[in-house]
C-alpha cells in the first residue's frame, strides 16, 4: 500500500463540461479506465447506476512485443477485457494515453470503438511537459470543476509529448469536442464518437 502519495488539486474545465452535458441524465453507462476510487464512484453515482471499472493502470506498462511493430487489437482484448455488447456513454481515460506506447494506441482506440455508441464521450488528457511522473496519476474528483492528481513517489520519466494533431488522428471514430490547455501542462480533451 502506498503511503507516500500526495494530491494536487487543479481545476478541470473538461470535467465541468462533461458534467454539464449529462447533468439531466440518470441512466448513464460509464467506463472507468483508471483504478477504482470511492469518491469517484460516489460522484458518478449521481449520473449513473452502472460503472465498469477496468483499472488499465494496473496493466501498464504494456508487455513488449518481440517482432510486431504495432500492438495487435487482439492483445487489447486480453489486456482490457470489457463486457461484450455493452455500449458506454462516458469513457474516462484520464492521463493513460501518455503511458501507452504510440504503436499501441491505434489498437487501443479500435478496441474501445467496440464499446462506443453514437455520442459516447471519451475524456482524456495529454501531458505537455518534458517529464511526467513514472506512473500514471490516480485522479480523484473533488467536485464538478476540480480534480485531485494523486502521484505515487517523486520519480519522473520523459514524456512522449504526443502532439494534439497526432492524438486526434489516432482517435479513429472520434471527433474532438472540447480541448482545454491548462497552465500546469495538461491538455484536457473531450472526444465524441461518431458511428
Partner 1 sequence: MWKKSESEPLSQSSSSDSQSTGYFAAQEPESQSGDRSVIGSSISIKGEISGDENLLIEGEIEGKIVFHNHNVTIGQKGRIKADIHGKTIAIDGNLEGNLFATEQLIIRQTGIVHGNIVSPRVVLEDGCNFKGNIDMSPKEKASPPLPLISSDDTDADIL
Q: Strand, helix or coil at 157? A: strand
Among 20, 25, 42, 74, which residue sits at the site for partner 1 (rule: CB under 8 A)? 42
> Judged by CB under 8 A, which stretch of 38-46, 102-110, 111-119, 162-170 contacts partner 1?
38-46
Q: Strand, helix or coil at 43? A: helix
**83's grid cell:** 463486457
Query: Of the two residues 96 and 186, which places its CB atom closer to partner 1 in the complex?
Result: 186
Among 60, 62, 102, 142, which residue sits at the site for partner 1 (rule: CB under 8 A)? 142
Cα–Cα distances (Å) from 75 to 63, 80, 106, in that order, read 10, 8, 12
Query: Of the two residues 32 and 174, which places its CB atom closer to partner 1 in the complex?
Result: 32
Question: Is position 134 an interface residue for partner 1 (rule: CB under 8 A)?
Answer: no
Among 23, 25, 55, 155, which residue sits at the site for partner 1 (rule: CB under 8 A)? 55
The C-alpha cell 474501445 sits at: 112
The rounded distance, in Å, linking the Cα atoms of 76 and 85 is: 16
| 146-175 footprint of partner 1 as x/- string (CB under 8 A) | --xx-x------------------------
Query: Of the two residues 1 and 69, which places its CB atom closer to partner 1 in the complex?
Result: 1
* Residue 82 near residue 115, CB atoms below 8 Å: yes
Question: Is position 65 an interface residue for partner 1 (rule: CB under 8 A)?
Answer: no
Is the C-alpha dihedral spanning 39, 26, 144, 126 positive or negative?
A: positive
Question: Is position 52 an interface residue for partner 1 (rule: CB under 8 A)?
Answer: yes
DSSP at 51: E
* Residue 43 near residue 26, CB atoms below 8 Å: no
The C-alpha cell 482490457 sits at: 80
Question: Is position 13 an interface residue for partner 1 (rule: CB under 8 A)?
Answer: no
> Judged by CB under 8 A, which stretch of 15-23, 60-68, 103-111, 178-186 contacts partner 1?
178-186
Amino acid at each position: 500500500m502506498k503511503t507516500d502519495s500526495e494530491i494536487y488539486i487543479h481545476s478541470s474545465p473538461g470535467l465541468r463540461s462533461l458534467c454539464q452535458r449529462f447533468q439531466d441524465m440518470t441512466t448513464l453507462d460509464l467506463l472507468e479506465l483508471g483504478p477504482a476510487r470511492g469518491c469517484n464512484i460516489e460522484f458518478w453515482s449521481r449520473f449513473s447506476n452502472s460503472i465498469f471499472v477496468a483499472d488499465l493502470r494496473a496493466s501498464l506498462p504494456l508487455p513488449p512485443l518481440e517482432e510486431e511493430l504495432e500492438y495487435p487489437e487482439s492483445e487489447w482484448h486480453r489486456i482490457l477485457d470489457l463486457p461484450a455488447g455493452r455500449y458506454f456513454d462516458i469513457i474516462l481515460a484520464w492521463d493513460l494515453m501518455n503511458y501507452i506506447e504510440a504503436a499501441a494506441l491505434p489498437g487501443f482506440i479500435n478496441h474501445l470503438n467496440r464499446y462506443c455508441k453514437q455520442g459516447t464521450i471519451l475524456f482524456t488528457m495529454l501531458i505537455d511537459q518534458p517529464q511526467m511522473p513514472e506512473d500514471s496519476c490516480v485522479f480523484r474528483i473533488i467536485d464538478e470543476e476540480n480534480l485531485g492528481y494523486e502521484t505515487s513517489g517523486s520519480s519522473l520519466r520523459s514524456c512522449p509529448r504526443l502532439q494534439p494533431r497526432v492524438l486526434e488522428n489516432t482517435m479513429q471514430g472520434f471527433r474532438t469536442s472540447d480541448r482545454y490547455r491548462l497552465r500546469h501542462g495538461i491538455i484536457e480533451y473531450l472526444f465524441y464518437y461518431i458511428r
